[in-house]
Amino acid sequence: MTARENAKLRHDALAAEVRAHDYRYYVLDDPELSDREYDALYAELRALEDEHPELRSSQSPTQRVGGELRSDLRTVPHVAPMMSLDNTYDYDELAEFERRVLDNLPANAAPEFCVEPKLDGASVEILYRDGELVGGSTRGDGSSGEDIAPNLKTMRSLPLTIPYRGPLTLRAEVVIFRRDLAKINLTRAEAGEAPFANPRNAASGSLRMIDPRSVAQRPLRVMVWQVVEGAELAATHAGALARLAELGLPTHRLERVCKTPDEVRACIEAIDAGRRAYPYETDGAVVKVNAFSAQGILGATAKFPRWAIAYKFSAERANTRVLSIVVQVGRTGALTPVANLEPVQLGGTVVQRASLHNAEIIEHLDVRVGDLVSIEKAGEIIPQVIAVDPSARTGAEMPWQMPAECPSCGSAVVALEEEVAIRCPNPACPAKVKGAIFHFSRRFAMDIDHLGEALIEQLIGSGLVADVSDLYDLKVEQLEALERMANKSAVNVVQSIERSRTQPFERLLTGLGIEHVGQVAARQLAEAAESLENLLSWGAEHVLEHVAQIAGFGPKMVESVRRYLESADNRALLEKLARLQVSRPQPKARAAAEGPLSGFSFCVTGVLSRKREDVHAAIRDAGGEVLDKVKKGTSFLVIGEKVGKAKTDSAKKFGAQVIEEAALERMIAGELSPVPETPSTVAVPKKTKATKATKATKPEAAS
């Protein structure tokens, strides 16, 4: 076999393996590899394609983010109109639907129904032609939508090829899992961006982004719920969904065929009872006539098909009264109105506050202080006021308006053109300063202990601190002079602040809270600049040059960094931080996977001989991946003293090898191989063939 043939074989095997893991992770939600193992496989595939570019076909998993850059989304017509769905909240209307179906089918027909969840995401049309994913669009106005083909290709739940000939047109919901939304919102909060109110908004916003590279960063998943073209797959809707799943396409797999109205209701109730455990939001059940032939006979009205109806579940709602409306000022200066409510039970918790988001929403809902309102919990997000009951008004309710002045500092607020938010423009506004210092001190940033919100307020109020750099001038005596501050606490605070000087540059950048620059971007920026001094030495004109080079930095991020560095106030702050030697230069970016622990993942638990962070750093330095939980594919659980049973149980469940700290130290020192010397010392955790192959291409560091 020639070297080329060999490379082709290896390429096809690797590509198939990456696809198989994408399928397990994104379609079955049951990953087999750790992220690091997956990344290693993927990196090997890329490297092989770099060496043999002729192997890089459009179907390779590496081509999910194409080079195509667009300035906007084109509009494309749908293959068939994307209609909406008749819906109801009650069983009587459902019975009417069933009656209409019977009346319109030939006498004696006993139609089967298929009942399935109604997913609450963004609906899309997806086109496969001769097994290749070639196009896709948003719902748009129903007859045409925005071309989002490059964005769909980034979604790893959607195969780029399937074993199917001819045209296949599908309809699907693009969703974001609830657990993923929490992560996205955290990142957004760190970057000073408004959180998404619910998974649906997050999904539809993400789906329509112009740059597929940004879309690729969002954990979007596809769930197919209808075949529009390609009905020859099966004679029934349920049969077609099952065939699609066999072809490797993502479906919800919750379709159930029902023969009687009672069965239909039982299925609806089962979905309602189970939906809180589904990873995505489900706002109802869809009842569809199962046979395509019967669907054809029933046809459609101008708006919706006569063969389907959505039975919607009422969202968890409660009624309560608005006691007052207050305004919070965040670190970016955005003013957020918040309703204080008469406490009410909703979805298992007592709710006393609800966000009103912005002035536009208050005006739209016409919320007044004293009003009786309905509040709703969208997913696991903060409750929202969704409606006012004007019939319950007594006349004593007080209309409310957004203040023209910042409630914290009294500056006139400004409305920026491109956003609905109203902001306080004063850089010295105490509420903004407090938010900025709190953000700076957080765990993921400079990690300063003992610096709570109350103390920050005191420090600002007493004039000791006006920006984050002032923290580093604080003396124990000054703190002791504050109310409720004992000597020991004052010493702790000063020590925690001192300790934070050793944080790497990326933490400082994260802590500064530059708009659109969260932890990941901060790390990239820190790696590009290496140190605060270097960053300062890039003149405004070079900033663009350097920053625009960073992979994944979109125009918004580049512009935000440029604007930040251009401001004289910000430069003065950075210069002072540099003088005070806050933060260490960024350690060189390390190429993934080198060192004795490369390819292995570790979860550390219990009390160890040194600080947990230090153990983590040592693992990473030796090429290992650190996980905060044992999951499928985790290689080792490192245990110290006082280990909880839950952790060791999960190690057992996921097949992670339990080792003591001493064994870890020996592995790091290269004295003990993560691959066993004798079966009785350390057993090899289950690894995939491909990861082993990755390792085999490098010198064996540990054996």
Residue 305 CB, nearest distance to ligand IVH (Å)?
Answer: 5
Residue 123 CB, nearest distance to ligand IVH (Å)?
Answer: 3
645 is annotated as an active-site residue: no
- Indicate the residue among 258 and 455 with the shorter CB distance to ligand IVH: 258
- List 7, 43, 79, 85, residue binding ligand IVH (CB under 6 A): 85
- List 7, 65, 83, 387, residue binding ligand IVH (CB under 6 A): 83
- Indicate the residue among 310 and 690 with the shorter CB distance to ligand IVH: 310
User: Which tokens sit at 43?
Assistant: 């990196």
Minimal CA–CA distance to 201: which of 357, 70, 335, 80? 357
- List 11, 36, 118, 200, residue binding ligand IVH (CB under 6 A): 118
Minimal CA–CA distance to 191: which of 464, 481, 448, 524? 524
Beta carbons of 7 and 23 less than 8 angstroms apart = no
Enter the DSSP assignment of 2.
-
Beta strand 601-605 with 636-639: parallel, antiparallel or unpaired? parallel
- Indicate the residue among 124 and 535 with the shorter CB distance to ligand IVH: 124
Residues 408 and 438: their CA atoms lie apart, in Å, by 16
- List 26, 225, 311, 553, residue binding ligand IVH (CB under 6 A): 225
Please list the alpha-helical segments (H only) found in 208-320: 212-216, 237-246, 261-274, 292-298
- List 17, 116, 470, 661, residue binding ligand IVH (CB under 6 A): 116
Please list the alpha-helical segments (H only) found in 208-260: 212-216, 237-246
Beta strand 144-146 with 132-138: parallel, antiparallel or unpaired? unpaired
Minimal CA–CA distance to 22: which of 52, 60, 51? 60
628: left (phi over 0), alpha (psi -120 to 50) or beta: alpha
Residues 121 and 218: their CA atoms lie apart, in Å, by 14
Residue 201 CB, nearest distance to ligand IVH (Å)?
Answer: 15
Positive or negative, the CA dihedral 417, 418, 419, 425 is negative
Beta carbons of 467 and 430 less than 8 angstroms apart = no
Closest CB to ligand IVH: residue number: 123
Residue 114 CB, nearest distance to ligand IVH (Å)?
Answer: 9
Residue 229 CB, nearest distance to ligand IVH (Å)?
Answer: 14
Enter the DSSP assignment of 166.
S
Helix (H, G, I), strand (E, B) or coil at 282: strand
Q: Which stretch binds ligand IVH (CB under 6 A): 118-126, 342-350, 576-584, 647-655?
A: 118-126
- Indicate the residue among 123 and 650 with the shorter CB distance to ligand IVH: 123
User: Which tokens sit at 652?
Assistant: 């057992």
Residues 152-181 that bind ligand IVH (CB under 6 A): 173
- Indicate the residue among 18 and 286 with the shorter CB distance to ligand IVH: 286
- Indicate the residue among 251 and 510 with the shorter CB distance to ligand IVH: 251
Beta carbons of 305 and 295 less than 8 angstroms apart = yes
Q: What are phi and psi of 48, to 5 degrees?
A: -65, -40
Beta carbons of 31 and 24 less than 8 angstroms apart = yes
Length of the chain: 703
Residues 534 and 532: their CA atoms lie apart, in Å, by 5
Number of residues that bind ligand IVH (CB under 6 A): 14
Beta carbons of 137 and 144 less than 8 angstroms apart = yes
Enter the DSSP assignment of 67.
S
Compute the C-alpha angle 671/675/678, nearest 5°. 80
The 10 Å Cβ neighbour count of residue 200 is 23
Q: Does 84 participate in binding ligand IVH (rule CB under 6 A)?
A: yes
- Indicate the residue among 240 and 460 with the shorter CB distance to ligand IVH: 240
- List 203, 286, 354, 456, residue binding ligand IVH (CB under 6 A): 286
Beta carbons of 41 and 694 less than 8 angstroms apart = yes
- Indicate the residue among 226 and 650 with the shorter CB distance to ligand IVH: 226
Residue 174 CB, nearest distance to ligand IVH (Å)?
Answer: 10
- List 123, 441, 598, 601, residue binding ligand IVH (CB under 6 A): 123
Q: Does 224 participate in binding ligand IVH (rule CB under 6 A)?
A: no
- Indicate the residue among 140 and 403 with the shorter CB distance to ligand IVH: 140
Helix (H, G, I), strand (E, B) or coil at 542: helix
Name the β-bridge partners of 185. Answer: none
Q: Does 18 participate in binding ligand IVH (rule CB under 6 A)?
A: no
Residue 83 CB, nearest distance to ligand IVH (Å)?
Answer: 4
Helix (H, G, I), strand (E, B) or coil at 671: coil
H/E element holding 158?
none
Residue 217 CB, nearest distance to ligand IVH (Å)?
Answer: 24
Residue 376 CB, nearest distance to ligand IVH (Å)?
Answer: 18
Helix (H, G, I), strand (E, B) or coil at 465: coil
Q: Does 200 participate in binding ligand IVH (rule CB under 6 A)?
A: no
User: Which tokens sit at 655?
Assistant: 């097949």
- Indicate the residue among 253 and 610 with the shorter CB distance to ligand IVH: 253
Q: What is the CA radius of gyration of the chain?
A: 29
Residue 166 CB, nearest distance to ligand IVH (Å)?
Answer: 22
Residues 167 and 127: their CA atoms lie apart, in Å, by 8
| x/- map, 300-329, ligand IVH, by CB under 6 A | -----x--x-x-------------------
- List 137, 151, 154, 226, residue binding ligand IVH (CB under 6 A): 226
Q: Does 119 participate in binding ligand IVH (rule CB under 6 A)?
A: yes
Q: Which stretch binds ligand IVH (CB under 6 A): 80-88, 314-322, 445-453, 626-634?
A: 80-88
Residue 269 CB, nearest distance to ligand IVH (Å)?
Answer: 17
H/E element holding 591?
none
Q: Which stretch binds ligand IVH (CB under 6 A): 72-80, 115-123, 525-533, 601-609?
A: 115-123
Q: Which stretch binds ligand IVH (CB under 6 A): 116-124, 322-330, 465-473, 643-651?
A: 116-124
Q: Which stretch binds ligand IVH (CB under 6 A): 83-91, 185-193, 437-445, 527-535?
A: 83-91
Q: Which stretch binds ligand IVH (CB under 6 A): 114-122, 325-333, 370-378, 500-508?
A: 114-122
Catalytically active residues, by annotation:
118
Q: Which residues bind ligand IVH (CB under 6 A)?
A: 83-85, 116, 118-119, 123, 173, 225-226, 286, 305, 308, 310
